[in-house]
Chains A and B, each alone.
Chain A
Amino acid sequence: MTDTLSQSTSQAAPDVVAEEATVKIRVRDLDFYYDDFNALTGITCDIKAQAVTAFIGPSGCGKSTFLRCFNRMNDLIPGTRVVGTVLLDGQDIYGPDVDPVDLRRRVGMIFQQPNPFPMSIYDNVAYGPRLHGVKKKSDLDDIVKTSLKRANLWKEVKDILDRGGLTLSGGQQQRLCIARVLAVQPDVLLMDEPCSAIDPTSVQKIEDLMAELKSTVTIIIVTHNMQQAARVSDDTAFFLQEVMGEPAHLVEFGRTAEIFTSPKDKRTEDYITGRFG
């Protein structure tokens, strides 16, 4: 598996170089703590660039917690702590010289609950660029238009850009949030159950969107929906907390096609065939 490559010997060197080019995020021996509680342990995996990676597992297994490690969103929760390394393009994002605020521009995030700001559609999308100093109206206009187009929302909202973001339907709101993130041009897009609060037609649109976006953005999605993981992702990681109170860990990580057709681990098989979780 991928993690065996990490620190391997010289004969494997050509392989490592080949992998190196496509690995976007490298996680090594990550442990996560909420105060004294060890929520995740010993996680090692490589997230491929320009691909969709799905995190699956039962509720409470720490998938979302792990996802938030990639943009240091957990820093906002008091008492949390990360041990181990997370390399984004080879740079340790928990290094002393990394500002989480800058990191979050590169690693965007979509939440379970669509969360447009209580302002117009235009201002929602322009929020990020404005934060980062874009002031010229024509530049902002361009960014807003491009971002809404990339999020497949432009056609629906181009005549109502000054209307409140909260007046849109749930599915449109989620695509607005995607456009808002795309406006700051992230390399990585984290999606924390982006489809669990919206209607099926919109789910379809968002899944199509992920397929389009992955050529330019590395996508990681947490989902409770096995079919969705199978449909949208290239790689799948299965997390499990086997005993209450014990840390969760990464049980199996590999090509989605393999995980869903011939999982190596019995527990993975049990989970994806619906025997628990």
Chain B
Amino acid sequence: MARRDSKDLANRVALTGFWIAALTTVFILGAVIVYVFVNGIGEISLEFIFTKPHGVNAEGGIWPMIVATLYVTGLAMLIVTPIAVLAAVYLAEYAVQGQLVRTIRFAADTLASVPSIVMGLFGLAFFVEALKLEFSVLSGALALSFLMLPIVMRTTEEAIRAVPKYIRWGSYGLGATKWQTVSRIVLPSAAPRIITGIILATGRAVGETAVVIFTMGTMIYTPVLPTDPGRSMTVHLYQMAMEGINLPAAFGTALLLMVMILAFNLFARWLLRRNRRMQG
């Protein structure tokens, strides 16, 4: 009996431990969101979103930063998608599975774990200085695409591999060539997961600071051409907060940024779920 009780007790203690650990996670997330929300919500207004900052303390809106952020990530997405998808198709479908492919995969995984500030430094040296692209949206997008490339490539490769063999065989069995099978069956089947990967990578790029501060600069400017400079929302947030100019604006920017990233992630999840429903 006593033995049984002690087992029950151990069980209960362990369970309580798990509960506390799990709750801590939720609490931390909740605390961050609530803190940013409470501090930032007062700033959010149409004026804050759609006008330029003015005055010494950058009062007013953050429109140029929103434009620069969306511009640089959008451009990075356009650069990265074809390269990453083609590379993934090659790796998953065409390459002879061997040492070379393993090396490429390892390189991609390592690239994904390079600290973003190192990528920023590289962007500064290579795109801004060596290629003379200056501080520009283009420099920023190119550097960001380095960050996104491994993520998109690996998720695309996984998505392609997840297309069942028997569906490919169905296509080959009808006299389809490899390319016909890949382009008409495999890629469309994998598309939802590929798009999800792209969106998640884009979400990461939106929140990236180190890379863009080195490559796009810090100038408050509404970029029109890819060669224009700009300041991303994250960089703006950093400057508002660290230089102590305008803390409320920093929180407002933070809140907007979080909402944008959340929207990206929810959109990706919705896409995946909708697709799962459609395929039964």
Min CB distance B90 to A, Å, is 17
State which residues 84-119 of A face B: CB under 8 Å: 101-105, 108-109, 111-113, 115-119
Q: What separation, in Å, do the CA atoms of A164 and B279 have in the docked complex?
A: 8
State which residues 157-197 of B face A: CB under 8 Å: 164, 166-167, 169-177, 180, 184-185, 188-189
Given contacts A113-B166, A119-B188, contact A181 B172 (CB under 8 A): no
Q: What separation, in Å, do the CA atoms of A76 and B93 have in the docked complex?
A: 12
Asked whether, in the complex, the Cβ of A180 is within 8 Å of the Cβ of B280, the reply is no
Q: What separation, in Å, do the CA atoms of A55 and B170 have in the docked complex?
A: 21
Judged by a CB distance under 8 angstroms, whether A232 is at the interface is no
State which residues 188-219 of A face B: CB under 8 Å: none
Most buried by B among A112, A113, A166: A113
Judged by a CB distance under 8 angstroms, whether A177 is at the interface is yes
Asked whether, in the complex, the Cβ of B169 is within 8 Å of the Cβ of A117, the reply is no
Judged by a CB distance under 8 angstroms, whether B46 is at the interface is no
Judged by a CB distance under 8 angstroms, whether B130 is at the interface is no
Asked whether, in the complex, the Cβ of A127 is within 8 Å of the Cβ of B175, the reply is no
Asked whether, in the complex, the Cβ of A73 is within 8 Å of the Cβ of B172, the reply is yes
Judged by a CB distance under 8 angstroms, whether B278 is at the interface is yes
Given contacts A111-B166, A118-B279, A127-B184, contact A73 B189 (CB under 8 A): no
Q: What separation, in Å, do the CA atoms of A113 and B174 have in the docked complex?
A: 16
The total of Cβ contacts below 8 Å across the A-B interface reads 69
Residues of chain A lying within 8 A (CB to CB) of residue B169:
73, 76, 109, 111, 115
The residue that B174 contacts in the complex, of A76, A104, A118, A167, with Cβ under 8 A, is A104
Asked whether, in the complex, the Cβ of A104 is within 8 Å of the Cβ of B166, the reply is no
State which residues 41-64 of B face A: CB under 8 Å: none
Residue-wise, chain A 112-138 has the 8 Å CB interface mask toward B (1 for contact) of 110111110000000110011000000
The residue that B188 contacts in the complex, of A101, A118, A181, with Cβ under 8 A, is A118
Interface range for A: 20 to 34
Q: What separation, in Å, do the CA atoms of A119 and B167 have in the docked complex?
A: 12
Asked whether, in the complex, the Cβ of A117 is within 8 Å of the Cβ of B185, the reply is yes
Asked whether, in the complex, the Cβ of A101 is within 8 Å of the Cβ of B176, the reply is yes
Residue-wise, chain A 161-194 has the 8 Å CB interface mask toward B (1 for contact) of 0001011000000000100110010000000000
Residue of B nearest to A128 (CB): B174
Residues of chain A lying within 8 A (CB to CB) of residue B278:
118, 164
Count of chain B residues near A, Cβ 8 A: 20
State which residues 183-227 of B face A: CB under 8 Å: 184-185, 188-189
Asked whether, in the complex, the Cβ of A71 is within 8 Å of the Cβ of B167, the reply is no
Residue of A nearest to B180 (CB): A131
Q: What separation, in Å, do the CA atoms of A101 and B175 have in the docked complex?
A: 5
Q: What separation, in Å, do the CA atoms of A116 and B174 have in the docked complex?
A: 12
Asked whether, in the complex, the Cβ of B173 is within 8 Å of the Cβ of A73, the reply is yes
Residues of chain B lying within 8 A (CB to CB) of residue A113:
166
Q: What separation, in Å, do the CA atoms of A164 and B275 have in the docked complex?
A: 12
The residue that A127 contacts in the complex, of B166, B174, B279, B280, with Cβ under 8 A, is B174
Q: What separation, in Å, do the CA atoms of A119 and B176 have in the docked complex?
A: 16
Residue of A nearest to B176 (CB): A131
Asked whether, in the complex, the Cβ of B174 is within 8 Å of the Cβ of A115, the reply is no
Residues of chain B lying within 8 A (CB to CB) of residue A76:
169, 172
State which residues 30-79 of B face A: CB under 8 Å: none
Asked whether, in the complex, the Cβ of A167 is within 8 Å of the Cβ of B170, the reply is no
Asked whether, in the complex, the Cβ of A117 is within 8 Å of the Cβ of B171, the reply is yes
Residues of chain A lying within 8 A (CB to CB) of residue B279:
118, 164, 166
Residues of chain B lying within 8 A (CB to CB) of residue A118:
167, 188-189, 278-279
Q: What separation, in Å, do the CA atoms of A108 and B170 have in the docked complex?
A: 9
Given contacts A118-B279, A167-B280, contact A184 B174 (CB under 8 A): yes
Q: What separation, in Å, do the CA atoms of A151 and B170 have in the docked complex?
A: 17
Q: What separation, in Å, do the CA atoms of A111 and B173 have in the docked complex?
A: 10
Residues of chain A lying within 8 A (CB to CB) of residue B173:
71, 73, 104, 108-109, 111, 181
Asked whether, in the complex, the Cβ of B175 is within 8 Å of the Cβ of A115, the reply is no
Asked whether, in the complex, the Cβ of B189 is within 8 Å of the Cβ of A115, the reply is no
The residue that B171 contacts in the complex, of A103, A108, A127, with Cβ under 8 A, is A127
Min CB distance B161 to A, Å, is 15
Task: Jot down 12 A-B pairs with beta carbons below 8 A, ordered by A.
Answer: A73-B172, A103-B175, A104-B172, A108-B174, A111-B166, A111-B169, A111-B173, A115-B170, A118-B167, A131-B175, A131-B180, A177-B170
Known: A73-B169, A111-B169. 14 other contacts (CB 8 A): A73-B173, A101-B177, A104-B173, A104-B175, A109-B169, A111-B166, A112-B166, A115-B166, A117-B171, A117-B189, A131-B174, A131-B176, A180-B170, A181-B174
| The 10 A-B residue pairs with the shortest CB-CB distance in the complex, in nearest-first order | A105-B175, A109-B173, A128-B174, A115-B170, A104-B175, A115-B166, A166-B280, A113-B166, A115-B167, A131-B176
